[in-house]
Chains A and B, each alone.
Chain A
Amino acid sequence: DAKTTQPTSMDCAEGRAANLPCNHSTISGNEYVYWYRQIHSQGPQYIIHGLKNNETNEMASLIITEDRKSSTLILPHATLRDTAVYYCIVRQGGQGGKLIFGQGTELSVKP
């Protein structure tokens, strides 16, 4: 079973920041937080991952709370092409960790 809880759906205005929350209260010390997204009729796409420090790349920023029990994915300037289902996944580090997808958050970016 997925070890994360996410809202089922969210809306965001185009050009504004989209902040997607994720709860992972049972995360253990060697587990990472991964984010993938799935645009309609496409395969999932990797966005970002982190252990305990905040991370940023060209797609998004990941903010992990100090106790690591929750995190937020931030899309700084959402566009219509960011409309997708966003999956927050807790995964063991190293090669053996599986990606166990939950239901995800359906983000709708509106003009």
Chain B
Amino acid sequence: EAGVAQSPRYKIIEKRQSVAFWCNPISGHATLYWYQQILGQGPKLLIQFQNNGVVDDSQLPKDRFSAERLKGVDSTLKIQPAKLEDSAVYLCASSLFVLTSGGDTQYFGPGTRLTVL
């Protein structure tokens, strides 16, 4: 079974530039997540999609970050304009939508490492 795919793996940009990250979840996974992981910290949830609808974007800095999941499969996360503090690894995860008592298991991609100069 193919895992969660992300591209690019690395990106270097200057502040005030724009950048976009792409995620392809595991086939059949209805739920998709974007996390931000700053060096030395655990991942922080930015946004959660259920199919192509947003479930939770309370931690997404909406003045500069946007995300979409057209057709309920692939997703893109965009930053415009980037700031120095956006330097981080951006992780995408996906899970099946199952109403089990323990909740879903999230499967993570390898991440995109963003450096803002």
Beyond A44-B91, A46-B107, whether A93 also contacts B101 by CB under 8 A is: yes
In Å, the complex CA distance between A78 and B56 comes to 37
Query: Does A92 sit within 8 A of B, measured CB to CB?
Result: yes
Contact yes or no, B43 A95, CB < 8 A: no
Task: Report the Cα distance A94→B97, complex, angstroms.
Answer: 10
**What size tier do the contact residues of chain B reach?**
20 to 34
B-side binding surface: helix, strand, loop or mixed? Answer: loop
What is the total number of residues of chain A having a CB less than 8 Å from a CB of chain B?
A: 24
Interface residues of B in 87-101 (CB under 8 A from A): 91, 93, 97-99, 101
- In the complex, which residues of chain B have a beta carbon less than 8 angstroms from the beta carbon of A98? 45, 48, 56
Complex: A100 Cα to B97 Cα, angstroms: 19
Sorted nearest first, the 6 A-B pairs with minimum C-beta distance are: A101-B42, A43-B108, A46-B105, A97-B103, A44-B108, A101-B43
Q: Which residues of A contact B (CB under 8 A)?
A: 2, 32, 41-46, 49, 51, 87, 91-95, 97-104
Known: A44-B43, A49-B102, A102-B42. 17 other contacts (CB 8 A): A32-B102, A32-B103, A43-B109, A43-B110, A44-B108, A46-B105, A49-B103, A51-B101, A94-B99, A94-B103, A95-B31, A95-B103, A98-B45, A99-B43, A99-B45, A99-B106, A103-B41
